[in-house]
Structure 1
Amino acid sequence: MSLAEHPVTSPDAVRPAYLEAAARAAVLLADPRVASAWADGSVLAGMTVGALAGHVARSVLQVEWFLDGPLDDTLEATSGVTYYARITDAADPGSDLNRGVRARSEESAAAGPVAVAGDTAAALDRVRDRLLREPADRRVAILHRPGEEMLLDEYLRTRCVELAVHTDDLALSVGADARAPEAATAVAIDLLVGAGAARHGSLAVLRALTRRERDEVGALRVL
């Protein structure tokens, strides 16, 4: 089994890690500094603090939406590694990927800081209860990618990535010291290293980790 196919994180650890990270993000979204800076630019070019907050919120809101989405049993489930490994245009602000992210983030942010924080906290309460009941083989539809499904826990691994990365972004944007919990960050690193290996090969990742002078492809830069 290759590095890309062999996650280090135990499947049993994913849901608790996700819920802890989502709770940390929900607290940050309710921070008055986020509301005060809502219309200001964030640390991400082309995104206001409000849009970035909307993007963070969607890693909670979408879990509930996707759990309620229609499923097609004939589809092959996409892995979290594949979800990220195929993204090759994340560094281009004008890419279709980034335009779509900004549009969805701004749509969520349009409700305003109080509503975004409140909706996220309420959704997290509901999702927490649902995740206790969902079986290991539960799938979710990826609604913004029609015709694509993932196992729930694989999707939650991708949400750990998003929460770990963008909690940091949002905190830096408003001068807060909040960061994602270590457990979720470990899940994120595990998945992103696997995505780098899937895209460039395990040797390239090894070189990026230990011999930077031989890292000709930026193997660890996934997003």
Structure 2
Amino acid sequence: MDINPVDAEAVRACYAGAAQAFMELSGRVPPQAWTRQALGEWDVRALTGHTSRALTTVEAYLGSPATGELVPGPVEYFLTVRGATSPDAIAQRGRETGEALGEDPAAAVREVVQRVTALVRNTPDDALVATPAGAMTLIDYLPTRTFELAVHTMDLARAVGLPPPASLTPALAASLELAGAIGSRLPSAGELLLLLTGRTGLPENLSVL
């Protein structure tokens, strides 16, 4: 997929902003809150660990050989990996990654954010990334990681009762666009549209209209 420089700059800015927001929020988690229930089977520590994978996977996949036909973009990535990993495996991986954050999870997140965002800044747009869906360019893969950071930073904010940092705002907008593009390719596209327009499933008065 060809990305013009303006688009590439926006993609990078969204990812950097989302990473910054995640780092800021994790730094504000009260010490007693790391064991608080957060999302599904995860406590706050495990959710934070899972969210950090939106950074560490970029680093790991850039360091792995990427061959074969390119996945053309983030929508195709999500459609390919959708349902490919069992919920139990995802839950266990989150717990393990959370434990690996050590005694000071916020400091561990800060180190990861600083390390990976520096790597991304110094890596060309067309560098190849070996993802679970296949080879991608870095600039096409980053929106999938911005999406993960945006969604799970919101999850984390809800779990600890804090507002999401303002630096997350561009990533939220980009992630809503990506979610709409993914949803439009699913058999449930009509139902998703009804959901977003407040017809069903959402609290009263919550709608994009």
TM over 0.5: yes
1:175 aligned residue: 161
Distance 2:125 2:77 in 1: 19
Post-superposition Cα deviations, 1:109-168, rounded to whole Å, max 9, x if no partner, equal: 1134644332322222222222223222222112xx3x7222212221011111111111
Say whether 1:16 aligns with 2:37. no
Q: How does 1:116-155 map to 2 (within 5 A)?
A: 116-142=105-131, 145=132, 148-155=134-141
Distance 1:177 1:211 in 2: 24
Q: How does 1:70-219 map to 2 (within 5 A)?
A: 70-72=65-67, 74-77=68-71, 79-86=73-80, 89=83, 96-112=85-101, 114-142=103-131, 145=132, 148-179=134-165, 181-200=168-187, 212=199
Match of 2:13, as an amino acid? Answer: P
What's the CA shift for 1:173?
0.7
Cα contact 2:51–2:152 (8 A) shared by 1: yes
2:56 aligned residue: 61
| Partner SS state of residue 162, structure 2 | coil
| Partner SS state of residue 18, structure 2 | helix
Over the aligned positions, Cα root-mean-square deviation in angstroms equals 2.8
Could you list the runs of 5+ residues in structure 2 that have no partner in the other structure? 1-5, 201-209
Q: TM-score, normalised by structure 2?
A: 0.79
2:35 aligned residue: 39
Match of 2:37, as an amino acid? Answer: G
| Partner SS state of residue 198, structure 1 | coil
Cα contact 1:78–1:148 (8 A) shared by 2: no
Distance 1:155 1:115 in 2: 29
Aligned CA distance change for structure 1 residues 209 and 186 (closer, same or farther; 3 Å): same
Distance 1:106 1:28 in 2: 19
Cα contact 1:26–1:57 (8 A) shared by 2: no
Cα contact 2:45–2:105 (8 A) shared by 1: no
What's the CA shift for 1:204?
6.9
The percentage of counterpart residues that share the same residue type is 29
What's the CA shift for 1:87?
5.9
Post-superposition Cα deviations, 1:27-76, rounded to whole Å, max 9, x if no partner, equal: 2222242x42222211x22211111111111112222222212222x233
Aligned CA distance change for structure 1 residues 209 and 24 (closer, same or farther; 3 Å): closer
What's the CA shift for 1:182?
1.5
Distance 2:192 2:80 in 1: 16
Aligned CA distance change for structure 1 residues 136 and 111 (closer, same or farther; 3 Å): closer
Q: TM-score, normalised by structure 1?
A: 0.74
Distance 2:178 2:102 in 1: 31
